Amino acid sequence: SAVISQKPSRDICQRGTSLTIQCQVDSQVTMMFWYRQQPGQSLTLIATANQGSEATYESGFVIDKFPISRPNLTFSTLTVSNMSPEDSSIYLCSVKSRGEYTEAFFGQGTRLTVV
Amino acid sequence: AQSVTQLGSHVSVSEGALVLLRCNYSSSVPPYLFWYVQYPNQGLQLLLKYTTGATLVKGINGFEAEFKKSETSFHLTKPSAHMSDAAEYFCAVSEGGGGNKLTFGTGTQLKVEL
């Protein structure tokens, strides 16, 4: 298993500002992902964070809005840019080791409220 | 494309009663299936997974699920509910063969009453 630390755990931000969320893993992992969980809804994959290259974004998510960095195998950041109230969600970091039968582990999430 | 349908956004059971949370999936390739639980203000914790082999899988906290290919289902059960089982449960599917993208269902909120 992997222990994932996400910071901050929650924040209240003004519209138009940006917030950077950090994800730290206690071991080297191959795959890192960022998910969004909107109020009362399920999890939606935002992007796959690739080490040393640009993240791979899912349909409906763009780099300008959600820039992602992954400088090494244990750390990644997600920035929510130019925030609006619609960005109020829980953002979760997830990690997975390469291998056919491995499962994904999740951080505790960052609860973001945009006012 | 893959998808997951969880029937019943809210399920309420009495303590000691059977828990049944339904999950149906759609996948163009043999799926890998997962159940995760989310307690309030926490991340997701893996309950159990099916990849290959035995279709009845056992997980933590007394939960189990059965993969039924003919019914495209992966329902979660527990013989006797406990108050501590109250949480939100998510079914998820990923493509087999090492596929990494998880597609989640909309979740089922389980309430356990005395």
Name the residue with higher pLDDT: A42 or A7.
A7
Q: Kindly provide the b/e burial profile for residues A66-95, where b requires at least 16 CB atoms within 10 angstroms of the residue's own CB.
A: bbbebeeebbbbbebbebeeebbbbbbbbb
Residue B77: pLDDT over 70: yes
pLDDT tens digits, B19-48: 999 999 998 777 889 999 999 878 899 999
Beta-carbon separation of B41 and A108 below 8 A: yes
Which of A24-28, A81-85, A86-90, B21-25 has the lowest average pLDDT? A24-28
A91 vs B contacts (CB less than 8 Å): none
Q: Among all residues of chain A, which has the CA nearest to that of B34?
A: A103
Confidence of residue A74 (pLDDT cuts 50, 70, 90): very high
Name the pairing type of β-strands A43-49 and A56-57. Answer: antiparallel
Q: Among all residues of chain A, which has the CA nearest to that of B33?
A: A103
Distance CA A44, CA A37 (A): 6
Beta-carbon separation of A42 and B100 below 8 A: no
Q: C-alpha angle with apex B6: B1 to B12, nearest 5 degrees?
A: 170
A45 in B contact zone (CB under 8 Å): yes
Beta-carbon separation of A43 and B104 below 8 A: yes
The residue assigned the tokens 């049944």 is B20
Residue A98: pLDDT over 80: no
- Taking the CA atoms of residue A29, residue B101, residue A61 and residue A51 in that order, the dihedral angle to the nearest 10 degrees is 20
- For residue A28, what pLDDT is reported? 82
- For residue B97, what pLDDT is reported? 53
Confidence of residue A101 (pLDDT cuts 50, 70, 90): low
Candidates B44, B50, B101: best to mutate against A (most CBs of A within 10 A) is B44
- For residue A99, what pLDDT is reported? 65
- For residue B41, what pLDDT is reported? 79
- Taking the CA atoms of residue B45, residue B48, residue B49 and residue B54 in that order, the dihedral angle to the nearest 10 degrees is 170
